[in-house]
Structure 1
Amino acid sequence: MSFDTAHLVAFAAAIVAGFVRGFTGFGSALIFMPLASAAFSPQLAAPVLLVTDFVMGIPLVVSALREVRWRTVLPAAIGAIITTPLGAHALAHGDPLILRWAISAIVLALLLLLVSGWRYHGEPRPVPSLGVGATAGFLGGFGQVSGPPVVAYWISGPDPTAIIRANLLCFFAVISLSSLAAYVWNGLYTGEVVDLFLVLAPGYAIALLIGAKVFRRTAGAAYRPFVYVVIAIAALTSMPLFDGVLR
């Protein structure tokens, strides 16, 4: 894949990922990570997405503070903080090709979890929340794909959609801070990360705000089929198997 094509692929992925993140509160990594990892490398894609998503998502997090229920978020956040460094270590020291296969496989597995319709029914409890958060933390540190376990756990609970979305936004803010520290510790932030961030951030930010505005206008109307198809396309087309075609 040429230099220009690589940046074009990453920019397009950032726009779609930003819109989905703004609308649903999650899902950006499931779209961005496979494609950006194919265009560059997982070790570059993950820290770029982390800083882009965190910085550009601050307005969404601030607005979510009015509705978040911390008694639901905190146990999962504690579990995530514990395991995020383990995932970050695996990312920093893994072979890029193996990491790409792993990220594509994990994204597809998490997509199957979402598509299956399995949901945890009932009030989230501290111990299960800690375990779900720990799983999400490792996946977040490894490839910024922490969303699906928490979504499957929370989405069928007693809280309305707006509160679930607020809980997700605040949980991801906490896990992002943990990932940021772990990535810095593992030396993943370089000048190349800053350069790519400056290229992708404007498109991601605009798409994020548009997605959030669409959410407010539709009150969370059905969006899952569209998001699932986009995630599947991103994961499948970015597999190393297709490098001869796409690169």
Structure 2
Amino acid sequence: MLQFLADLAAHLPDMPVLVLLAAAILIAGLVRGFSGFGAAMIFMPVASTVIEPRAAAAGFLVLDALVTLPLLFGAIRRCDWATVLPVSLSAMAVVPVGAAILAHADTTVLRWVLSAIVLAAVAILLLGWRYSGRPRLAASLGVGAAAGLLSGVSQVAAPPVVVFWAAGPNPPQTIRANLIVFFAIVSLSAFAAFYLNGFYDTGVVVLVAALAPVYGLGILAGARLFGTAAPAVYRPVAYGIILLAAISSLPALDTWLR
């Protein structure tokens, strides 16, 4: 037993790296608990600079799926299923394409592309683009495909769907519930794609076990903050999260993070 534990401990990152990852996942949990999205946008840019990006994406996927289950139970009752389902099914279909790209493409190039996409999403939001009524099916499918591609590449699927739903008429409670259910559904396809591409190993399991308590604490605190915040606060916070993700994703910040 002791030898088994020693073997697991050997797969942990060095202490400075582990502390940095714990700090990132705590902040990510606060954001996820409050807004229903954004954890990967906070955690992945930091994690990808200090550990293998494939391990970071695979570990975060399992971590997020397990720790956010309590949020999912409430969101299932509050989400707009007619809006969530077409976006989610389209995303699930495209996730394997993104995972295949992650398995073979240059990660620095991917991060520059991701930053550009997120900045474009921020620009659309700040320009005040809005729509009323239920979105068209074609638009939902297109947004889902974009989110699925980003999910497979980096686990950062939020920008397309946040822009799409935040620009619509739904209240913050529904938008947050939509996002929580969307990520739960899409994670099934992402997990299968990552598994088939060989992303899971002992190091990923150890990483998940080490960070899960910290992430859970952050999510609990964030959910309580959402319960006490005024509805008008939600959209500005969501926009700020996306902008922060765009800046933190820039490969030019790697030297500072290291």
TM normalised by structure 2 equals 0.86
Moved more, 2-11 or 180-189: 2-11
The answer to whether structure 1 residue 195 and structure 2 residue 206 are counterparts is yes
Match of 1:209 in 2: 220
Question: In the TM superposition, what are the counterparts of 1:1-247 in structure 2 within 5 Å?
Answer: 3-223=14-234, 232=243, 235-236=246-247, 239-247=250-258
1-side partners of 2:40 and 2:32: how far apart? 9
Moved more, 213-222 or 174-183: 213-222
The amino acid of 2:156's aligned partner reads V
Extract unaligned runs of 5+ from structure 2.
Answer: 1-12
Moved more, 36-45 or 103-112: 103-112
- The alpha-carbon deviation at position 95 of structure 1 amounts to 2.8
Q: Deviations over 1:58-111 (max 9, x none)?
A: 110111111122111111111101111000111122234434444444444444
Q: Deviations over 1:13-66 (max 9, x none)?
A: 111111101101111111111111112132121111111111111110111111
Conserved 8 A contact 1:31-1:235 = no
- Max radius of gyration: which structure? 2
- The alpha-carbon deviation at position 136 of structure 1 amounts to 0.6
2-side partners of 1:98 and 1:19: how far apart? 29
TM normalised by structure 1 equals 0.89
1-side partners of 2:220 and 2:136: how far apart? 33
2-side partners of 1:227 and 1:126: how far apart? 24
Moved more, 152-161 or 71-80: 152-161
Match of 2:3 in 1: none
1-side partners of 2:185 and 2:33: how far apart? 17
2-side partners of 1:230 and 1:150: how far apart? 14
Conserved 8 A contact 1:7-1:39 = no
Q: In 2 relative to 1, CA 115–16 (structure 1 residues): closer, same or farther, beyond 3 Å?
A: farther
Match of 2:8 in 1: none
Extract unaligned runs of 5+ from structure 1.
Answer: none
